[in-house]
Structure 1
Amino acid sequence: RKLHSFTVMQPLKPEKDNPYCWFSLHAGGQYEYILVEKRGEKSDVGFIQLNRPKALNALCEGLMRELRQALDVFEADGEVGAIVITGSDRAFAAGADIKEMQNKTFQECYRTDFLAHWNRVSQSKKPVIAAVNGFALGGGCELAMMCDIIYAGEKAQFGQPEILLGTIPGAGGTQRLTRAVGKSLAMEMVLTGDRINAQDAKQSGLVSKVYPVDQLVSEAVKCGEKIAANSKLVSAMAKEAVNAAFEMTLAEGNHFEKRLFHATFATGDQKEGMTAFVEKRKASFQDS
């Protein structure tokens, strides 16, 4: 493994709920709740690990702020072609930090547009892969669904248990889950708080692949390497086209796709890719 070129992992005085906490020093400050590095043979996969083990990676405000910062760094890094987000073997993220939320008022939530900034993950131009082991509940399930691809460890569990706390999902759970698994299963999960396991998640379309726990992260990184080997510019266009399918009618989506397809012909990477195919050699994309 190669650490990010400007990342130095150092021990930190443990936070009160995290005796194993580490942080990463980088040009913009320090990370307390996440570990950040670059992985892959070419160091072209950004890697973010949620790191609040005692709290089962509960998504506190500080963690989400650091996640946004790390995503910004990787977005600006020309070497990075894909990003992997993971947690621990026990929990991807067991939910939002309830202690931070329990005393909030409606006025405060409405005035600050509470949870709106969580969408930063879904707004990344670079493909994001969630590698989910253990619990992905509530905000953790929502965070995974904001990613473009979900790989699950064979012991993963997904759920939206907010109803058991007297509230509903607030970071896309009712919307993304319904689009992923259909109305009936989404309704059942949201209204009962019941969880589904990794195999059910795969069968329903929530995740694309299931791996043994100890192979999950490496397989997610391999997927990231495959993506990063392609044109980063064209990958961003392809991601935009797929995401548009959830926002448009079929006719509008096909029109949008066609325009992006036409736009690739203005890139050097399209010329290189097709020329390499004709010449029966491997393409050398320049992201231009």
Structure 2
Amino acid sequence: MSYENILIEKDGGIATVTINRPAKLNALNKATIEELNRALKELKDDKETRVLIITGSGEKAFVAGADISEFADYSVKQGKQLAEKGQDLLFNYIENYNKPVIAAVNGFALGGGLELALACHFRVASDHARMGLPEVSLGVIPGYGGTQRLPQLIGKGRAMEMIMTGGMIGTEQALAYGLINHMIAQEQLLPFCKKIANKIMTNSSVAVATAIKAVNAGFNKKGFDAEIELFGESFGTEDFKEGTAAFLEKRKADFPGK
């Protein structure tokens, strides 16, 4: 199967999926989300593939967010559909995937990019990577699982601070928070992830798949429904219209607060 926005490389049971939109800093548009879903389904049926690594092209960005130009004029209903479809096709799909999925965070992981990394089973980042959820600066909230997976991973207080400030943290802070498992030099990022993948592959693939299911069972999924609802409602606010307009016009937002 051919893809326009992603690359797939297979090597000894490991499939490396690279999001390949360097001109857009690998931003997630609808087409890329759909391609990732198709690729994941294809690799799920591939008996030779036992571990997946997801990364971004180049050294600047893993995924620098969602493609804001696609949804700047969405209604509340369209906003809810955007979050719901994205979670079904990609983020929830990865979290519940029956093969281990490692995020190799090679640069900026912002907004939907960080949410993509959060959906993976664990994360390894290069030492210059930067991570954050800047959605509130656009008058919206994270809509692809960020309000749920980030607190589960790093704790409520730290997640609240990251989400409410919309700021970025570096790899050392992410490591201290438990947001990432390892911090690695850029040139060693993929070799290190493959080393972990090879270690996983010495174990029972059935047991590993069952362990993924068992760990995920310990978390309440009702919060994701609330996130979809509230994300969609954000599209009906004047702050969202101002925030996205300011972003696309490359100026500072002047939020009316309603």
- 1:87-102 matches, within 5 Å, as 87=56, 88-102=58-72
The count of corresponding residues between Structure 1 and Structure 2 is 217
Instruction: Report what 2:115 is aligned to.
Output: 142
Rounded to whole Å, the distance in 1 between the matches of 2:179 and 2:81 is 33
Give CA deviations for 1:56-106 in whole Å, capped at 9, x if unaligned. 000011111111111111111111111000013110000001011111111
Give 1 or 2: higher helix fraction: 2
Equivalent position to 2:10, from 23, 31, 38: 38
Q: Contact conserved, 1:80 with 1:228, CA < 8 A, in 2?
A: no
- Unpaired segments of 5 or more residues in structure 2? 222-258
3-state DSSP class of the match of 2:95?
coil
**Aligned equivalents of 1:204 and 1:53: distance in 2?**
29
Structure 2 residue corresponding to 1:132, chosen from 105, 112, 120 = 105
Answer whether contact 1:45 1:228 (CA < 8 A) is retained: no
Q: Whole-Å Cα distance in 1 between the matches of residues 216 and 96 of structure 2? A: 10
User: Secondary structure in 1 aligned to 2:144?
Assistant: coil
Deviates more, 1:236-245 or 1:181-190: 236-245
Alignment of 1:110-125 (within 5 A): 110=80, 113-116=84-87, 117-118=89-90, 119-125=92-98
Question: What TM-score results when the alignment is normalised by the length of structure 2?
Answer: 0.81
Relative contact order higher in (CA < 8 Å, ≥ 6 apart): 2
Identity %: 42
2:34 to 65, 74, 82: 65
Shift of 1:111: 5.2
Matched-pair contact (CA < 8 Å) for 1:144–1:150? yes
Question: Which structure 2 residues correspond to residues 80-229 of structure 1 after superposition, within 5 A?
Answer: 80-87=49-56, 88-110=58-80, 113-116=84-87, 117-118=89-90, 119-229=92-202
Q: 1:111 to 1:78 in 2, by over 3 A?
A: closer
1:33 alignment partner AA? N
Q: Measure the CA separation in 1 of the matches of 2:81 and 2:53.
A: 32
The runs of 5 or more residues in structure 1 that have no matched partner are 1-25, 249-288
Checking the alignment, whether the CA contact within 8 Å between 1:93 and 1:136 is kept in structure 2 is: yes
TM superposition shift of 1:247: 3.6
Runs of 4+ in 1 over 4 A off after TM superposition: none
Aligned to 1:241: 214
Q: How large is the RMSD of aligned CA atoms in angstroms?
A: 1.4
- Seen in structure 2, the aligned counterparts of structure 1 residues 130 and 111 have a Cα distance that, compared at 3 Å, is closer
For 2:47 and 2:198, the matched residues in 1 are separated by 14
Instruction: Please tell me whether Structure 1 or Structure 2 has the larger radius of gyration of its CA atoms.
Output: 1
SS at match of 1:92: strand
